[in-house]
Chain A
Amino acid sequence: MAAEAGKIDPMHQFEIAPVFQGGFDLAGQTITFTNSALWMLLTLVALWVFMLGGMKRELVPGRWQLMVESCADFIDNMLLSNVGQEGRKYTPYVFSLFMFILFANILGLLPIGVLGGHPFTVTSHLTVTGILALLSFGIVLVVGFTRHGLHFFSLFIPHGTPLPMIPFIFVVELLSFLVRPFSLGLRLFVAMTAGHILLKVLAGFVINSSNAGVGYGLMVGLPSLTLMVGISALELLVAAVQAYVFALLTSLYINDAVNLH
């Protein structure tokens, strides 16, 4: 929120800047502790605290324990229904993925700007979502080839394809398979970025119209603020839905690798 001479840049929130000066070079890249790293760590800490509440291991769970257990059960059931009994092996990964994305999304929506902080949404960065998508894709490749070897390529030929169509279908299916990591990473990145830009633009409307006068503030600022409240609620939903979609697609891809259709 660089309010330079009344101009509010809705993209400034996505800028990565070092929190501490100094860092070290690694393979041509400078590694510094950035605001992005800070929010990743905050996500980790928040998730760890959340999980601690589920470690009471009581027979009759309290509210917190029930929340944690519901999340664990949710992911467990997702893998069980999409992949089968073998899918439970991947629960730790998909659970980590789901909870990391969910917590990062929600932490980025926290209104700590009111307190002077600068919320940063880790998952609104193509680098982060891209790495996670490539990680999921890599797991699918590794699992697929170790389990089925070259037979894994039969994934690209659906059952009942007429023989002359096989080369064509194979190419199409291979392309759709190769596009998966991009669609997976882009979907989350775009959804988070768009929501945050929309909120920031509306917030800019509120501030600029209120600065222009009471009349403008009531005419433009108030409807914008009302809209912001609604969109904030929608963004909370999107935060959960996108985490769910990422985890669901990952489990579907793992299913392809484990069961080959």
Chain B
Amino acid sequence: MPQIDQVMSTYGSQLFWLVITFGLIYFVIGRSMLPKVQGTIDLRRSKVSADIAAAKAAHARADEIEESYREAQARARDAALAVTAEAKATGARESEIKVKQADAGIAAHLAEAEAAIAAQQASALTEIEAVAVEAAQDIVAKLTPVKVTKPQVNRAVKGALANA
């Protein structure tokens, strides 16, 4: 086995070259290149975790905004409901007042009209009396030779009308 046969003749050379190559690997690769690679890994990890944290914060913020939006919406709806209810109430009050006013006007008109009708009825009755007196006088004059005076006829007509 050459590895054992040659140990005594080659260990110096093996040691020499191993120290050089492994030393270069340790100092150039392990000590200067590896930390940069690890730095890149660490940088990426911190970036990823920072991004995730930022995304979580943004998510929470979005939830907050939605919550406040909902609140505002609910408030606006309540306000709108209150305004409509008030408008309804005032509308009802106003229409009540108007109806009352209109009732009063109608009642006044009715009273006036009734008074006018009563007045016209009264004047019509007096006119009918006058016409009846003349007609009765004329009928009496044409049918009988008796001369009747106006006051007589008048009394007679009144009596007849009162009896009618």
Q: Which residues of A contact B (CB under 8 A)?
A: 11-12, 14-16, 23, 26-34, 36-37, 40-41, 43-44, 47-48, 51-52, 54-55, 57-59, 61, 65, 68-69, 72-73, 76, 91-93, 95-96, 99-100, 124-128, 131-132, 189, 193
Nearest chain B CB to A33 CB, angstrom units: 8
Name the prevailing secondary structure of the B interface residues.
helix
Give the 7 A-B residue pairs with the shortest CB-CB distance, closest first: A29-B12, A92-B30, A37-B17, A96-B30, A127-B14, A40-B21, A15-B2
Asked if B25 and A96 sit within 8 Å, CB to CB, the answer is yes
- B29: A residues at CB distance < 8 A: 47-48, 51, 95-96, 99
- B14: A residues at CB distance < 8 A: 16, 34, 36, 125, 127-128, 131
Asked if B25 and A100 sit within 8 Å, CB to CB, the answer is yes
Give the distance in Å from the alpha carbon of A40 to the alpha carbon of B3 in the complex. Answer: 16
Give the distance in Å from the alpha carbon of A30 to the alpha carbon of B22 in the complex. Answer: 20
Give the distance in Å from the alpha carbon of A31 to the alpha carbon of B9 in the complex. Answer: 10
Name the prevailing secondary structure of the A interface residues.
helix
- Inter-chain contact total with CB atoms closer than 8 Å: 133
In the complex with contacts A91-B38, A99-B25, A126-B7 CB distance below 8 A: yes
Give the distance in Å from the alpha carbon of A41 to the alpha carbon of B10 in the complex. Answer: 17
Q: Say if the beta carbon of B33 comes within 8 Å of chain A.
A: yes
Asked if A47 and B12 sit within 8 Å, CB to CB, the answer is no
Q: Mark B35-73, 1 if CB is under 8 A from A, else 0.
A: 111111101100100000000000000000000000000
Q: Mark B17-28, 1 if CB is under 8 A from A, else 0.
A: 110111011101
Give the distance in Å from the alpha carbon of A189 to the alpha carbon of B7 in the complex. Answer: 13
Asked if B6 and A16 sit within 8 Å, CB to CB, the answer is yes
5 residue pairs from A and B, CB less than 8 Å apart: A44-B21, A125-B14, A126-B4, A128-B18, A132-B18
- A43: B residues at CB distance < 8 A: 21
- A73: B residues at CB distance < 8 A: 41
Asked if B33 and A55 sit within 8 Å, CB to CB, the answer is yes
Give the distance in Å from the alpha carbon of A93 to the alpha carbon of B41 in the complex. Answer: 19
Nearest chain B CB to A31 CB, angstrom units: 5
Q: Say if the beta carbon of B15 comes within 8 Å of chain A.
A: yes
Asked if A131 and B10 sit within 8 Å, CB to CB, the answer is no
* Nearest A residue to B6, CB-CB: A16
Nearest chain A CB to B8 CB, angstrom units: 9
* Nearest B residue to A94, CB-CB: B30
Q: Say if the beta carbon of B149 comes within 8 Å of chain A.
A: no
